[in-house]
Amino acid sequence: MALDYQPIFILASGMLLQERKLSVVANNLANSNTPAFKRELIESYTWYADMGSRNGTNSPEDSTNNFVYPMVGNVFMDMSDGSLVETKNPLDLAIEGKGFFAVKVGDEILYTRKGNFRLNRDGVLVNEEGYPVLDRNENNISILGERVDIDRNGNVYVDGENVGQVGVFNVQNLRKAGKDLYYGEGEPLDTDGVLQGFLENSNVNPITEMARLIELSRAHEVYARLVNALDEIQNRVSNNITG
């Protein structure tokens, strides 16, 4: 009967939810030292099937025969700022406050808060993946010279001469693209929050995430034990019926 299956389905849903949460927390912990990494949070909710909509079958796969399940919702990002650390590297940049740097990836423009930049063999400012960093007009920035100074507005001076301005963009509809890059619709942002010789840390608190990891692991164990206990009960009931 469907009622016999309901506890298994509900507990299995709970286990899957804990597994997904564990995956998110583990990824946060793994990136706790990644510059500008933004921790992820998972949204969960309950799914309810109205028993009044039953169609008369008793199949456990039929959702109308079941009640309330814990479900995985969206995974979203905590975009709060990480702390700033001084590196004294003139090509390391951080943004204090809102805004993103822009990089050119093929024909696309993607956005990042990760400012550990360098120069390629042609003297073009690029990120660690080799993608060109763009100015506010979405053009490459060439740095040919010895001394590099970048002010809080993003203006780039090479040996005292202004050669461009690192673009800072306000980005709407932000979506993860991988490798600390984001899709979105960006518009140039006037800011005085560009800091040379600094990097933004991850906003992950390792202690908090470790506590969550332990809590979720224990919750997953409880679900697993309940599934095993329920399976034993069902076997006993089945043996009594057939015995």
Q: What is the pLDDT along the chain (243 residues), one digit of tens a residue?
A: 444 566 777 787 788 888 889 999 999 999 999 999 999 998 876 766 555 455 556 565 665 555 666 777 788 889 999 999 999 999 999 999 999 999 999 999 999 999 999 999 999 999 999 999 999 999 999 999 999 999 999 999 999 999 999 999 999 999 989 878 999 999 999 999 999 999 999 999 999 999 999 998 898 888 788 878 877 777 776 677 655
C-alpha to C-alpha distance for 103 and 112, rounded to whole angstroms: 8
Helix (H, G, I), strand (E, B) or coil at 3: helix
Name residues whose C-beta falls within 8 Å of residue 188's C-beta, 6 or more positions apart in sequence: 136, 137, 167, 168, 169, 170
- 230, 11 Cβ separation under 8 angstroms: yes
pTM of the model: 0.77
C-alpha to C-alpha distance for 105 and 99, rounded to whole angstroms: 19
Report the candidate in 111, 78, 80 with the shortest Cα–Cα distance to residue 96: 80
